[in-house]
Amino acid sequence: MKKLLLLFLCFPLLMFSQVVANDAMLEICDDDNDGYAYFDLTITQDVILNGQANEDFQLTYHLTQMDAESPANEISDPTSFQNTEAFHQVLYVRVEDLSAGEFTVAMVDLYVYLTPPANPYVGIVHCSEDGDFSIFDLTESEDTILENSETDDLEVYYFINEFDAQSNVNPLSNSEAYTNVSNPQEIYVKVGNPGSDCYSLTSFTIEVVACEEDEDGDLVDNEGEDVGDDLDEEDRPFDNINEGDGNLANDDTDGDGIPNYLDDDDDGDGILTADEDYNNNGDPIDDDINNNGIPDYLDAEVALAVNAFERAHFSIYPNPTSGIVNLVAENSIDLESAKIYSVQGNLVKTFSAKELELSNQLNISELSSGVYFLQLHSGESEIVRKLIVE
């Protein structure tokens, strides 16, 4: 709802007689920023009469000075008038002395001010080995908070509680190098429109977590989850995949609203990050099946390892093998396909459902020695096992 803010005493008088009247001004903060709002014009009466007895005068409101002087075209409902000119409009008030019949005309300036944006920010999470406290640059939130603002002339202040923000008292003076006083801690942000009392509030959390901890248990420590926000750049080198911006809260590779350090499926491909450790060295960061510079656990295009066969207690042997692989499951599984991939992600051999129905063995004797991945598919379930050919 748009709110009426201020009523001001303004400027010299307009006089056509001995009747005295002051100009007035009304301001409203625009909640939808279209430049239009509803005003109660009658609340200007005390300012216009400036101490004169209200019962001695009749006030009527008009769009033009000529109408006010005539009088003509009186605004029918001055308690709910929507301005007809966006953002600023001048109305004219006929102030008539009921006993003498004399009148004068005063002006009322109507202002509709933009309400500045205060978009939500994801927050700031640092990793540290020095305890629960860190130095935060709170202003890094401003690009997001002020996004889509129609003006660059906005004021941003930071507070430690909502009351101070609403009251505009005790703003933080060190917002670019603020040390948290609790962990986690809520920071309140007030965005103001200079020249008016229009403002918006938002808040975000700052937090410190241990760098070597693994909050989501996905085999990637907290520090390693700071991957930056430009994974789609083709020229991003693999070596710099973990050169983020120091904020764990804004790393959300799959856009599911859960930052990577709390998300055990960072790329949203339905495969746990820990299950995308295809080389089984206990670290998913160095697995890049398709050699595109993005680790597989951050790359939804790579989705080889799915543990949906666990209910069947599925296994393969021997492994390593000299050319024959046996497929064994305690429960019955109707395999639709078996595919062999190289470590580079290239498909090198496929077995059809008919071939698999005839035998629970795979003959891969023509494959060169090396490491491969065996992908088995049944319905909507898949499983991938590392396969070593001697």
CA 152 – CA 117 distance, rounded (Å):
11
Cα separation, 296 vs 134, in Å, equals 32
Pair (136, 101) in one structural domain: no
Omega before residue 12 within 30° of 0, cis: no
Contact of 25 with 193, CB cutoff 8 Å? no
Question: Rounded CA gap, 175 and 204, in Å?
Answer: 13
Q: Is residue 236 part of a domain?
A: no
Percent of the chain with pLDDT over 70: 86
| 353 shares its domain with 384 | yes
Q: Do 9 and 95 lie in a common domain?
A: yes
Predicted pLDDT of residue 238 = 43
Rg (CA), the chain: 35
Q: Given a cut of 70, is residue 294 above it in pLDDT? A: yes
* pLDDT at residue 308, as a whole number: 46
Residues 6+ apart with CB under 8 A from 225: 248, 251, 259, 260, 261, 266
In a domain, 231, yes or no: no
The answer on pLDDT for 98 being more than 70 is yes
For 314-359, the pLDDT digits (tens) are 678 888 888 888 887 766 677 888 888 886 677 889 998 888 888 8
Cα–Cα dist 202/118, whole Å: 6
Overall domain count for the chain: 3
Concatenate the DSSP letters of all residues of 210-273 into one string.
ETT--TT-SS--GGGG---S-TT-TT--GGGTT---S-GGG--TT-SSS-GGG-SSTT-SSS-G
pLDDT for the residue 152: 73
pLDDT band at 300 (very low <50, low <70, confident <90, very high): confident
pLDDT at 305: 44
Residue at 166 is within a domain: yes
Which of 160, 176, 210 is a domain's end point?
Answer: 210
Q: Based on the domain organization, do 90 and 167 belong to the same domain?
A: no
* Reported confidence tier of residue 51, pLDDT bands at 50, 70, 90: very high
Residue 201: per-residue pLDDT: 95
Let me know if residue 233 belongs to a domain: no
Mean pLDDT for the stretch of residues 6-18: 47
Where does a domain end: 79, 114, 149?
114
pLDDT at 122 over 70: yes
Percent of the chain at pLDDT > 90 equals 49
Pair (22, 89) in one structural domain: yes
- pLDDT value of residue 290: 77
- Domain around 371: 308-389
d(CA 31, CA 34): 8
One domain, residues 8 and 89 = yes
Instruction: Please say if the pLDDT value at position 21 is more than 80.
Output: yes
Looking at the fold, whether 67 and 140 belong to one and the same domain comes out as no
- Is 228 a member of any domain? no
* 202-255 pLDDT tens trace: 999 999 999 999 999 999 999 999 986 555 444 443 444 556 789 999 998 888
The DSSP H or E segment spanning 58 is strand 57-62
pLDDT in tens, 130-142: 899 999 999 999 9
pLDDT tens sequence across 30-42 = 888 899 999 999 9
pTM over 0.75: no
The C-alpha atoms of residue 227 and residue 229 are separated, in whole angstroms, by 7
Can you give the pLDDT at residue 342?
81
> Can you give the CATH number for the domain in which 130 is found?
2.60.40
pLDDT value of residue 11: 42
Residue 275 lies in a domain: no
Query: Does pLDDT of 15 surpass 70?
Result: no
pLDDT interval class at 173 (50, 70, 90)? very high
Give the pLDDT confidence score for residue 110 in this predicted structure: 97
* DSSP state at residue 361: E
End residue of a domain, out of 167, 195, 210:
210
**Backbone dihedral angles phi then psi of residue 41, each to the nearest 5 degrees:** -70, -25
Of 103 and 341, the one with more pLDDT: 103
Q: What is the CATH number of the domain that holds 314?
A: 2.60.40.3080
Same domain, 166 and 98: no
